[in-house]
Amino acid sequence: MSEHVNAVQPEPDMIQLLTPEGQRVEHPDYPLDITDDEIAALYRDLVLVRRIDTEAIALQRQGELGLWASLLGQEAAQIGAGRALRPHDMAFPSYREHGVAWCRGVDPLTLLGLFRGTNLGGFSPYEHNFNLYTIVIGAQTLHATGYAMGVVRDGAVGTGDPDRDTAVLAFFGDGASSQGDVNESFVFAAAGNLPVVFFCQNNQWAISEPVERQSRIPLFQRASGFGFPGVRIDGNDVLASLAVTRKALDDARNAQGPRLIEAFTYRMNAHTTSDDPTRYRLGAETETWKLRDPIARVKAYLVRNAQLPVDFFDDVEAESLRLAEHVRIGCRALPNPTPASPFDALFVDMPDEVREQRDEFVEFVASIEEAAEV
């Protein structure tokens, strides 16, 4: 008999290493050697990215940003995954991975240009091995897969040299799992046995559509249809995210092929600042998820178990205030785009017709500015 069916599993096992109550638990497949100082460092990350997020929402309310896609509730998934990366690994985000950007060393101000409307991204993916945000749902998973093809061609996989072997981490959402591009990524990655880890943040919602609109089985099982391993983690557990992503990246860089991680988490805020979730979901649902807050459990753990400097929590709080100020002030200071910029950045080798349009536009903008000054 060769009939295969995955029954609907309402609450499948999730890898969890830290309970919502802050209890450390072990998982046989994912031993995690981690010091309390390291957990404290993760705590700091979590608090700081939440602060960036809070500040960005405030900036949007004040009209300084056109839009913001909040990561509230997804900090653990992102910080765990982000901290699992090695410097020479490459990450391909969607548009909500501010926490991953943070782990890569990207200044939060760098992310704001897109949302403020001063640029379309405007940074180099090479600087921190963190690709530009991608808004067209799913497109980046193919870019990650192609990048992984390049890694293989560079001989940077399975050599055993940890400074050479490279893995690629591709982020996408539960909604994105329905896109052709994401599934084609799985095809290419599996057929090519590529060093790419697909990291799905299942935050239960794609704008107003619950995950059941996309799939009737848990999303991590999608991988089995393509012949590579999939695993579900408690996406609100930073330790699980760290341990499982680290292992998946190691597998990938050791030429074991692709992996899928489904981080089971929740979008606590609206889809973006333009969205009104009261139209489609109940407050009670959000309340339930508050009990699984990704930061509270780490704090509970640290308070109970760790020998931290007395001022630790105060210091983190103080640092977060400084970071908020940096974001607040820096955002307002972001340079406006020059009129020439869309033309200058269109091609490496600018054709005359683009140059003519540029000159016409620059002159036009100057003329209205002059008129305004008069």
Ligand X SMILES: Cc1ncc(C[n+]2csc(CCOP(=O)(O)OP(=O)(O)O)c2C)c(N)n1
Of 33 and 352, nearer to other proteins (C-beta) is: 352
* Angle (deg, nearest 10), helices 108-116 and 312-333: 40
Task: Restricting to residues 306-335, name those near other proteins by CB under 8 A.
Answer: none
Nearer to other proteins, 4 or 153 (CB): 153
How many other CB atoms are there within 10 angstroms of residue 351's CB atom?
Answer: 10
Determine the residue type at 96: R
Helices (H), 154-231: 180-191
- Residue number with CB closer to ligand X (197 or 206): 206
Burial class of residue 283 (count of CB atoms within 10 Å of its CB; 0-12, 13-18, 19+): exposed
Interface positions, 156-185, toward ligand X (CB under 6 A): 173-176
Q: Any contact of residue 273 with ligand X (CB under 6 A)?
A: no
Residue 295 CB, shortest distance to other proteins, in Å, is 28
- Using left for φ > 0, alpha for ψ between -120 and 50, and beta otherwise, residue 129 falls in left
Q: Tokens 């290419």 — which residue? A: 188
Question: From CA 154, how far away is CA 315, in angstroms rounded?
Answer: 44
Query: Is there a contact between 209 and 177 (Cβ–Cβ < 8 Å)?
Result: no
With contact defined as beta carbons under 8 Å apart, do 175 and 226 qualify? Answer: no
How far from chain centre, in Å, is Cα 96?
6
Total Cβ atoms within 10 A of residue 24: 14
If contact means CB under 5 to 8 A according to the sort of partner, which of Mg ion, a second copy, ligand X, none does residue 5 touch? a second copy
Range in contact with other proteins (rule: CB under 8 A) among 14-22, 133-141, 244-252, 255-263: 133-141
Q: Is 78 in the site for Mg ion (CB under 5 A)?
A: no
Q: Of all residues in this chain, which one has the CB nearest to ligand X in the complex?
A: 173
Residue 255 in contact with other proteins, rule: CB under 8 A = no
State in angstroms the smallest separation of the CB of 240 from a second copy: 12
Looking at residues 38 to 77 of the shown chain, list those that interact with other proteins (rule: CB under 8 A).
66-67
Query: Which CB atom, from 8 or from 25, has the smaller least distance to other proteins?
Result: 8
207 binds other proteins (CB under 8 A): yes
Quick one: tokens of 133? 């945000």
Q: Residue 182: enclosing H or E segment and its boundaries? A: helix 180-191
Residues 117/69/136/206 CA torsion (nearest 10 deg): -150
Nearest-approach distance from CB 125 to other proteins, in angstroms: 6
- Residue 140 binds ligand X, judged by CB under 6 A: no
Give the span between the Cα atoms of 52 and 98, in whole angstroms.
8
The footprint of ligand X on residues 75-114 (CB under 6 A) is 96
What are the two backbone dihedrals, phi and then psi, of residue 232, each rounded to the nearest 5 degrees? -110, 135
187 binds ligand X per the rule CB under 6 A? no
65: how many CB neighbours lie within 10 A of its CB? 20
Shortest distance (Å) from residue 287 CB to a second copy: 27
> How far apart are CB 167 and a second copy at their closest, in Å?
18
From the list Mg ion, other proteins, a second copy, none, which binds 217 (C-beta under 5 to 8 Å, kind-based)? Answer: a second copy
Q: Residue 88, SS3?
A: coil
Total residues contacting ligand X (rule CB under 6 A)?
Answer: 14
Residue pair 225/7 in contact (Cβ under 8 Å)? The answer is no
Positions touching a second copy (CB under 8 A) are: 1-6, 8, 12-15, 28-29, 177-181, 183-184, 187, 190-191, 193, 212-217, 220-232
Stretch of 78-86, 200-208, 285-293, 350-358 contacting ligand X, by CB under 6 A: 200-208
Q: Is 203 in the site for ligand X (CB under 6 A)?
A: yes
If the CB atoms of residues 125 and 330 are measured against other proteins, the closer one turns out to be 125
| Least distance to a second copy, CB of residue 132, Å | 22
Coil/strand/helix, residue 361:
helix
The yes or no reply on residue 174 touching Mg ion (CB under 5 A) is: yes
CB 357 within 8 A of CB 139: no
Can you give the binding site for Mg ion, defined by CB under 5 A?
173-174, 203, 206
Residues that bind ligand X (CB under 6 A): 96, 135-137, 173-176, 203, 205-207, 267, 271
